[in-house]
Amino acid sequence: MASTEIVEYTVMSKISQLTLLTTNRCTAACGHCSMHSSPQRRGKLSLSMITKAIEQLMLGDNQPKVVVFAGGEPTLLRNDLFDAIAWCHEKGIKTRIVTNASWATTRHKANEMIDTLRECGLSEVNYSLDDYHARDINYQNVFNAWQASKNRGFESVVIANCYGTRSTITSDFIQQQLNEVIPVYWDEHGVPQHTMSRAADGTWYLLSNARLQRLGRGQALAEEEIIYPDKQSSLNLKCPWAVTSAAMSPGGHLLACCGIHAHGNEFLDFGDIHTHDAAELFAQGEQRLVIQAIRKFGPWFLMKLVENIATQKLFKPRYASVCEICEDVVNIAESRRILREHLPEIYPLYENI
């Protein structure tokens, strides 16, 4: 057993949401893409791999409540996507797609795709739109898709917008262009709004506005583009998503989360579903000490632990999000070495706090 694992098993967590990173191929190559997706990449999950993994998790008494089809651009899977959504629907699992709407070049094409997705039983749709997407995809596509999604019986229809200091495609811009007032999820202080309600047709229509993060390819974004929290210590938060919001990579690996590109990461990649049972990978992965520390204390705790031992400066002077900290903590080679070698001695000192 590796030194980052502990012997005693605790109560198993449940996966509330499983994100399938269906492909790393995309119709865009956004500068902020956390998953490094692009038109040149070709990795993808097959229908049989998707259903096998979910069945194994279900047999392990861990049926996800929601399966999210993301990517890359999930609609590039075509029939495998439609069949996987229909398969989940038959099993009583709610489904969502996260798409850039590159397929909605006309209102007619948008209607056709929405017809197909609804026939398959898709419950929720999430459209990505911001300045970085708009460099490759006409933002009018998202508006075609948005209009086509109205009154179609979805549980929720969301436009996910992320913004930085230089953004022009903001929540206000989107509402002006659509000539609609759409409930906006976060206020200017980053507090979620709880006063929203379903529209008369029973659907939640929302604008999910999040601050830009330097993750994945976005690590190369200029620091001036990022909006940072007033106090860095506000990022000292535990992560509720590790394990409960697990993911599968286009290469068929089970991952702790979909927050960062985790395929191949020594802590967040739980292993290959081609050769191992998904439920067993999950049960073993959630016992890893780094995962437990992220869940109980958060990436900030690990960063400070590493800083106390490191003989050189490893981390950025400031971060915009908890996942940004996490990406550096679990990827920087010296940080990984320190966690591997020292966390097993240090963690028990904090475990019962």
3-state DSSP assignment of residue 222: coil
Instruction: In whole angstroms, give the CA distance from residue 225 to residue 168.
Output: 12
**Residues between 133 and 192 with contacts to ligand SF4, criterion CB under 6 A:** 133
Closer of 237 and 346 to ligand SF4 (Cβ): 237
Instruction: In whole angstroms, give the CA distance from residue 150 to residue 271.
Output: 40
Asked if residue 326 binds ligand SF4 (CB under 6 A), the reply is: yes
Asked if residue 294 binds ligand SF4 (CB under 6 A), the reply is: yes
Closer of 99 and 203 to ligand SF4 (Cβ): 99
- 80-86 contacts at long range (C-beta below 8 A, 24 or more positions apart): 80/22, 80/45, 80/46, 80/47, 80/50, 81/22, 82/116, 82/117, 82/120, 83/47, 83/120, 84/20, 84/47, 84/50, 84/51, 85/117, 85/120, 85/121, 85/122, 86/120, 86/121
**Residues between 327 and 346 with contacts to ligand SF4, criterion CB under 6 A:** none
Asked if residue 100 binds ligand SF4 (CB under 6 A), the reply is: yes
- Token digits for 214? 């330097």
Asked if residue 299 binds ligand SF4 (CB under 6 A), the reply is: yes
Closer of 80 and 327 to ligand SF4 (Cβ): 327
Binding mask 20-49 for ligand SF4 (x = CB under 6 A): ------x-xxx--x-x-x------------
- Token digits for 151? 């009154």
Instruction: In whole angstroms, give the CA distance from residue 141 to residue 108.
Output: 11
By rule CB under 6 A, what count of residues binds ligand SF4?
Answer: 25
Instruction: In whole angstroms, give the CA distance from residue 285 to residue 94.
Output: 25
Binding mask 115-134 for ligand SF4 (x = CB under 6 A): -------------x----x-
Q: Which range touches ligand SF4 (CB under 6 A), out of 68-76, 108-116, 161-169, 172-180?
A: 68-76
Positions that interact with ligand SF4 (CB under 6 A): 26, 28-30, 33, 35, 37, 71-73, 100, 128, 133, 239, 241-242, 256-257, 259-260, 294, 299, 322-323, 326
